[in-house]
Amino acid sequence: MDKKIVLVGAGSSSFGPSMLSDLLLSNVLSGCTIVLHDIDKEKLEIIYELITVENKRNNNKFNFERTTSRVEAFKGADFVISSIEVGDRHSLWLQDHEIPRKYGSTQILGECGGPGGTFHAFRVIPPIIDIVKDAEKICPNTFFINFSNPMARVCLAIKRVTKNLKFIGLCHQIHFLNHHIPKMLNKKLEELKLKVVGLNHFGFLVGLEDLTTCKDLMPEFDSKILDYYKDKWDRFEFSDLTFEVYDRFGYFPHSGDNHLGEYLQFGEEFTKQQDMVDWINRSEQLGKGIHGRIIKYHKRLKKGRYPKKGVFLKAPSGERAVPIIESILTDKNSYESSINIPNDGIITNLPEDLIIEGPARVDKDGIHGIKIGNLPKNIAAILRIEATIQDLCIEAIIKRSKELAIACLAVDPNVGSFKKADIIFSEMMEIQKKYLSYFK
């Protein structure tokens, strides 16, 4: 197939290997040109040299190129898959977590929600805006897939700064449900149709269907879920907070305690702070482990002792970018249970100008969100609170407004006062000035 696919951030140890593994496993995309793009030339070269060997072992299924030039990378691109971060992610994440709490914030994690999620957005969205504006100018017909967090805010920024760019956001948090529900119901995942709706990391299972019989499986799910999880509670996954929200709101939240709690002021009541710090550190260790493996295999390559098994996965990573691209190019009309897309009337009691996460159909014309209608009022209420914060966050970034940035922090229930917002912003500006100095 003669298509050009660009990986932005290809030098990343956490992003590059999984995307390249999925591409190597794809027969549909055989013949495509894959452009690896990163601003870190050294890391880019390492990934390129490894994938060149793997591609040769696969009969040169693809034409691989690499470049540090965004203009060169984007020329004629049919698809752009982007996952970037800025700075030392671990150190910055710990600052996002610790400093708001030092001044009384109730946030529990600080990655995608709460004041920590806001500062994460403040740092990463400006360079992403530059990327998508270039994409719209250089390859206006491209299909842009974002993996960067904070997902909902990044995608909302893309929506507001581009006019006609086709884009979606993808997150693998649905994997928890994909793993457990088939076991719970004694069925295969491909026999099930999950309908998970809400915002990224803040969605609820509102529908579950047996594809072979069209039977509604939600009553069975509700009857089995508590017994199933009696011995499976996980401090990083489904635990006290998840089941408290399930009990109070009547629908099962899919993201796990650590991410769900980012958006709820009462999340602190049902989680332990050490667990959240452990999660941040575990994420760092996982990244270091992948990076270390890449470096180890690259050294062996340079010594002429590259292992036959190779460094890339021999099974799909679970990320949905490659399957979605395949569905578009083959007009498969496939069902995806969890895609971040503009609301545009999909959920009628949430703002139109919002990025929602929900099910969609994929065909040659792209992504088509499946209409949900009204969500239950209690769920819509807590989602609208977060929607308001996201709205103000993106407005502050686009206008480079310190005043709006502080207001965004103050109205967040995890801060709740201008006094706290002022001092949090002041200290974060001091230690993250390199990334926040654009606010005036």
Q: For 289, phi and psi rounded to 5 degrees?
A: -65, -45
* Pairing of β 366-369 and β 202-210: unpaired
Cα 269 to Cα 48, 79, 101, 241, distances in angstroms: 47, 43, 14, 8
Asked whether 371 and 197 are in contact (CB, 8 A), the reply is no
Paired tokens of 4: 């050009």
In angstroms, rounded to a whole number, what is the distance separating the alpha carbons of residues 111 and 119? 9
Burial of 236 (0-12, 13-18, 19+ CB in 10 A): middle
* Cα angle 90-93-95, degrees, rounded to a multiple of 5: 115
- C-alpha–C-alpha distance, residues 113 and 191, integer Å: 33
Question: What is the DSSP secondary structure assignment for residue 216, as one 8-state letter?
Answer: B
Contact 82, 146 (CB under 8 A): yes
The amino acid that residue 6 corresponds to is V
291 is catalytic: no
DSSP state of 373: B
Q: How far is Cα 142 from Cα 145, in angstroms, rounded to an integer? A: 10
Listed residue (262, 252, 218, 254) closest to 237, CA to CA: 254
Closest of 10, 22, 125, 5 to residue 74, by C-alpha: 5
- Could you tell me the two tokens for 167? 């884009």
Which residue type, as a one-letter code, is found at position 162? T
The catalytically annotated residue of 37, 90, 97, 172 is 172
Active-site positions?
172
